[in-house]
Every structure is written in C-alpha cells, then in structure tokens.
C-alpha cells in the first residue's frame, strides 16, 4: 500500500508539473503574441487593422470580423471619453496615455490606441472601440487572427531624449496604406536615422527601406536624424507622393517612386508652418469650398499651433517647384499657402466620412479627453464659444440668414437641436 501511495504521489506530481509547464508555455506564448505597445493605427480595409508596436519594432495586421455598413452619417459628441475608458479598465482617467484614433471604414466606429498605467502590472497597451452612443469596448487582441512584420534596425532604449524618452518610442511615427503598400515612417539606428519603409501587404520579406534627409527651414540645416512625425500618401498631378511634416514645422514632399531599398532620398521642403511645434496628423479629404464646389484638401493637425488647411491644388504647384533652401525667421511662415484653422487641443484625428472629421480632443475646461466630430468646412465646434449670438434676446437681421442657418447646422451636429432658432 505504501508503494502504491508513493507511485500515486509521484504520478500526481508529474501531472501537476506538466500542467504548470503547459500553463507557463501558454502564458509566454500569449505574451509574445501581444504587442509591447499599441501606437499608430491604420485601416487597410474593413477587415484589416494595422497596429504599430513601436516598443517592439514591429507591425501587427489584425483581421477583424465582417461588420454591417452604417447607413447614416452621425457626429460624435462624447465629452468625458477618458472617464468612460478609465471605468472600463478600472483605473483613473489620468492613468491613460492616448496614441491614435482611426475610423472603421464601414461601421464608422472609432478605434483608439492607448497605454493604460496600472498599479500592479505597470503600463499595458490597449485598443478600445467606441460608437457614437458612447459605448466603449476593449478589443481582445489575443482573440483576433493576425500577421506581423518585424522591422530591422529600429531605434532602441540605448538612446534617450530629455533623460526618460526612449528612442524606441519613435521606431514607428506614422503609417499610411495605399494600393497594397504600407508606408512606415520612423527612426532607425545610425547617422541617417530618419527612415521610410515600403512594405507590401499581405506581408512579405521584400521591405524597401530608405533613409531620408531634408532641409529644415527654421534650423537652417540639412537634417538626417529627426524622423517624419506625420504623413500621408496622395496623388499630386499623377505622381504618388509622400507629404510629410516634421517638428518645428517644415512640410516636405517625397516622390514615392524614389523610395527603394537602400536609397538615400532627399525630400523637397515646400512650406514652413511655424516654429516650436510638433505636427500630429496629416489628413487628406474632400469637401465643398466657399464657392460651393467640391475640392480636395490636406489638413495638418499641430500640437502647439493652429491646424493648417491646404488646398490640394496649391500642394501640386508647390511640389513642381525647386523647394526651399533658405532659412525662415522665427515667427514667420513661408512656402505653400495655408489657412489657419481653430482645431486647438486636438491630439489625433481621422477622416470620418463625407461630412465630418473625427478628433481626440483634450477638454481644456475639465482636463478630460473628448471624442468629437468637426464638420468639414467649419473646422470649429460652436459650443466651444459663448458669443453675442447666444444671448436669448439676440435677433438675426435679414442680412444674417446664412449665419443663422450655419449656426443652426452646427447646433444640430453638436447635440443642441433644441437651441435652433
């Protein structure tokens, strides 16, 4: 009997050991199947979401389930989004760091990438999905099929800026997917650290990596290290072109055809948008101009100054020129004509649909994060202001019919249809 107990005890120990080992392998596999960070987002189509893992130096392509197409255009008016997300993760709203927003091309739901700081586990990457009704849903990345592409020679933690900002956070600074190719801007190692990659999708091993240099119009020097901070790839008069914005804030064009593996490419500086600024997004879209005609634009969202609205036709003309090679004085702008637009406190944005731009916007009054739409052509939210028009005894005269209708439209957009006059 004693020997039977020993045998049984040994067998149980082996089973437990196997179970623990299997659990550890399973847990390790799960961890390695998750990105170390979730930064830049980009939809390839309704079923494919690219997620940049800057800390891990890789790109994930998650396959999303089929969704029904939305039949209406609805603005977002979610004030206090940060509190809703914090509640979903059981943390304080100031434990959230936001990275990007992308609009699902079919459902028009917002996907937001962020880092959640938890007391026990430290920083954790996350993506949430939000609809116009304010429903917040955590995306279960482990449950989604995916492929991934590792990036070579990305910046690592051996280099830091301002003591505690790791260079690895700039491994991927922006993504754009066009015609089966994923463009990846970011920081690599070495003197020519500013890098632009072209990666075919579905992912293959044929990555074309180019180093980029530009003339910086405020710094008055050629620069090869500081990466592109925001970009879009658009057709300028039949030429596929990268329109890229850099810190402090030169706007540059690069012919996509020049981006070959091992190439060192010089971008053409076409504008200086303003010193002391970090560009956050470059968004192409179409809307009606002031003459009521459809026109194409590019909007540069900035961290420290007004957003810049640029006509596509002006970009085309600027891209044909020689480019800027002289210093621009502090406080001045130069190059392609831009229109300043009051998109203050916007962290990230995306083209929502034919009528709206969607923004992650810091609420200056509450400190919380909002998820709100801006009507194209207006580029403002009327409930951000209290003006003469808001007084109850104000009367529009017969010459102000356009102003009355315009304000009524924005009131309806922003959820104040009861204040329409």
Question: CA 163 to CA 173: how far, in whole Å?
Answer: 20
Q: Are 294 and 285 in contact (CB under 8 A)?
A: no
Please say if the pLDDT value at position 241 is more than 90: yes
What's the mean pLDDT in 3-13?
Answer: 48
Residue 307 confidence (pLDDT)? 97
Q: Are 280 and 303 in contact (CB under 8 A)?
A: yes
For the chain, the average pLDDT equals 92
Question: pLDDT tens, 279-300?
Answer: 999 999 999 998 989 999 999 9
What's the mean pLDDT in 363-370?
Answer: 95
Pick from 100, 103, 129, 111: nearest CA to 37: 100
Burial 52-74 (b: 16+ CB within 10 A, else e): bbbbbbbbbbbebeeeeeeeeeb
Residue 32 confidence (pLDDT)? 60
Please say if the pLDDT value at position 63 is more than 80: yes
Pick from 256, 257, 226, 258: nearest CA to 243: 256
The torsion angles phi and psi of 321, rounded to 5 degrees, stand at -80, -175
Residue 148 confidence (pLDDT)? 97
Please say if the pLDDT value at position 158 is more than 50: yes
Residue 107 confidence (pLDDT)? 97
Residue 156 confidence (pLDDT)? 84
pLDDT bin (cut points 50, 70, 90) of residue 21 is very low
């Amino acid at each position: 009997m004693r020997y039977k107990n020993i045998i049984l005890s040994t067998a149980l120990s082996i089973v437990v050991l196997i179970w623990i080992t299997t659990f550890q392998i399973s847990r390790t596999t799960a961890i390695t199947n998750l990105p170390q960070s979730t930064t830049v987002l980009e939809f390839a189509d309704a079923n494919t979401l690219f997620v940049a893992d800057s800390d891990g130096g890789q790109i994930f392509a998650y396959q999303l389930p089929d969704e029904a197409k939305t039949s209406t255009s609805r603005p977002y008016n979610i004030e206090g989004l940060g509190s809703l997300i914090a509640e979903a993760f059981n943390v304080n709203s100031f434990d959230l760091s936001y990275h990007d927003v992308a609009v699902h091309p079919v459902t028009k739901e917002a996907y937001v990438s962020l880092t959640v700081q938890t007391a026990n586990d430290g920083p954790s990457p996350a993506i949430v999905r939000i609809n116009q009704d304010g429903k917040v849903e955590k995306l279960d990345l482990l449950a989604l099929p995916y492929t991934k592409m590792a990036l070579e020679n990305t910046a690592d933690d051996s280099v830091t800026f301002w003591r505690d900002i790791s260079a690895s956070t700039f491994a991927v600074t922006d993504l754009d997917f066009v015609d089966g190719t994923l463009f990846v801007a970011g920081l690599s190692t070495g003197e020519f650290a500013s890098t632009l990659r072209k990666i075919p999708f579905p992912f293959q091993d044929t990555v074309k990596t180019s180093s980029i240099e530009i003339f910086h119009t405020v710094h008055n020097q050629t620069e090869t290290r500081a990466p592109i901070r925001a970009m879009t790839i658009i057709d300028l008069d039949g030429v596929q072109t990268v329109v890229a914005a850099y810190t402090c804030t030169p706007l540059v064009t690069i012919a996509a055809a020049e981006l070959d593996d091992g190439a060192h490419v010089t971008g053409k500086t076409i504008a200086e948008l303003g010193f002391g600024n970090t560009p956050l997004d470059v968004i192409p879209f179409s809307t009606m101009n002031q003459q009521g005609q459809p026109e194409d634009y590019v909007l540069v969202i900035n961290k420290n100054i007004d957003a810049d609205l640029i006509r596509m036709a002006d970009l085309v003309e600027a891209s044909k020129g020689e480019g800027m090679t002289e210093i621009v004085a502090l406080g001045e702008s130069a190059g392609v004509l831009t229109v300043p637009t009051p998109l203050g406190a916007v962290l990230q944005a995306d083209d929502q649909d034919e009528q709206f731009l969607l923004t992650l916007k810091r609420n200056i009054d509450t400190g919380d994060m909002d998820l709100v739409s801006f009507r194209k052509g207006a580029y403002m939210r009327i409930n951000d202001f209290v003006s003469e028009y808001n007084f109850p005894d104000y009367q529009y005269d017969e010459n102000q019919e356009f102003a009355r209708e315009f304000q009524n439209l924005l009131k309806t957009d922003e959820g104040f249809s009861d204040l329409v006059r």
